Amino acid sequence: MKIVLIEDQTMFRDLLKKICREHFHLAVVGEAGDAATGLALCRSRRPDMVLLDLNLPDRDGVSIAEELRAEDPEIRILALSSECDDYTLHRMFKSGVHGYVDKNRQSVDMLKQAIDEVMHGRVFFAEVAQQARWRLREEPMAFPKVLSDREQQLLSMLGGGLSDEEVARDLQLSRHTVQLHRRHIMGKLDLHRTPDLIRYAVSKGFSKLNSFRTRNEGYP
């Protein structure tokens, strides 16, 4: 089995490489500290499995998982992250990855177990991810139940601090349409003021995605 590592922390990447080579005797055919290099490696080396950090410096890791799965539905992906907000985990599950390791809370032995499970065609999701999935299924007002995918995208922008004009320009909508979307989203979430919307976005992880986009896509 051929493995590619996409992880921006050099020390953790070295640990992953050591585990793959010495514990599982796997061929690590490429390693990268950013999304662009990692994607190029995956396209040239055609790995069977990718260990993918969700917090990369140049791009959102979940979008990388979506792209890899679209190009090669057979590829196995084990996601790694130290940030476990509801929105990231919701998107991660939708992307079709096969496992998730919480770098803050899980031991090296659990990391080895996760690699072994995903490598052999099974799944492994850290408890924090399973709890988030259960919570989003059980809560009547959970955002996946009341907001469409488009509204979730808008929430990541509006709740992340972009103005109506900035959102309208980015999505090629009118300012009036964005204002209507804002009111609908707030109504569905039973929020009454823009500060409430921003607090909600921060607490669920929506603003983190927008902060990443602002940093890397040239928002003013």
pLDDT at 43: 96
Exposure of 166 by Cβ count < 10 A (0-12 exposed, 13-18 middle, 19+ buried)?
A: middle
pLDDT more than 70, % of the chain: 94
pLDDT at 218: 42
CA 114 – CA 148 distance, rounded (Å): 32
Which tokens belong to 52? 């993918």
pLDDT at 213: 54
Query: pLDDT tens-digit profile of 204-213?
Result: 988 876 555 5
Query: pLDDT tens-digit profile of 96-107?
Result: 999 999 998 889
Which of residues 137, 162, 184 is at a domain's end? 137
CA 171 – CA 214 distance, rounded (Å): 14
Tokens 């607090």, residue? 199
- pLDDT, the chain, mean: 91
CA 35 – CA 54 distance, rounded (Å): 10
Query: pLDDT tens-digit profile of 45-70?
Result: 999 999 999 989 888 899 999 999 99
Q: What number is the average pLDDT over the span 193-201?
A: 91
Q: How many separate domains does the chain show?
A: 2
pLDDT at 163: 87
pLDDT at 32: 97
Q: What number is the average pLDDT over the span 99-126?
A: 95
Which of residues 80, 110, 137 is at a domain's end? 137
User: Do residues 82 and 105 both lie within one domain?
Assistant: yes
Q: What number is the average pLDDT over the span 116-141?
A: 95
CA 15 – CA 9 distance, rounded (Å): 10
User: Do residues 124 and 159 both lie within one domain?
Assistant: no
| The pairing of beta strand 49-53 with beta strand 2-6 | parallel
pLDDT of 123 strictly over 60: yes
Query: pLDDT tens-digit profile of 131-162?
Result: 999 999 999 999 999 999 999 999 988 887 78
- Where residue 173 sits, what CATH number does that domain have? 1.10.10.10
Q: At what angle do helices 86-95 and 61-71 cross, to 10 degrees?
A: 10
Give the H or E element holding residue 99.
strand 99-102
Nearest to 38 by CA among 26, 56, 14: 56
User: Do residues 111 and 52 both lie within one domain?
Assistant: yes
Exposure of 217 by Cβ count < 10 A (0-12 exposed, 13-18 middle, 19+ buried)?
A: exposed
Tokens 């590592």, residue? 5
**Strand ordering across the sheet containing 99-102:** 27-32, 2-6, 49-53, 76-81, 99-102, 124-125
User: Do residues 111 and 161 both lie within one domain?
Assistant: no
Domain span at 108: 2-137
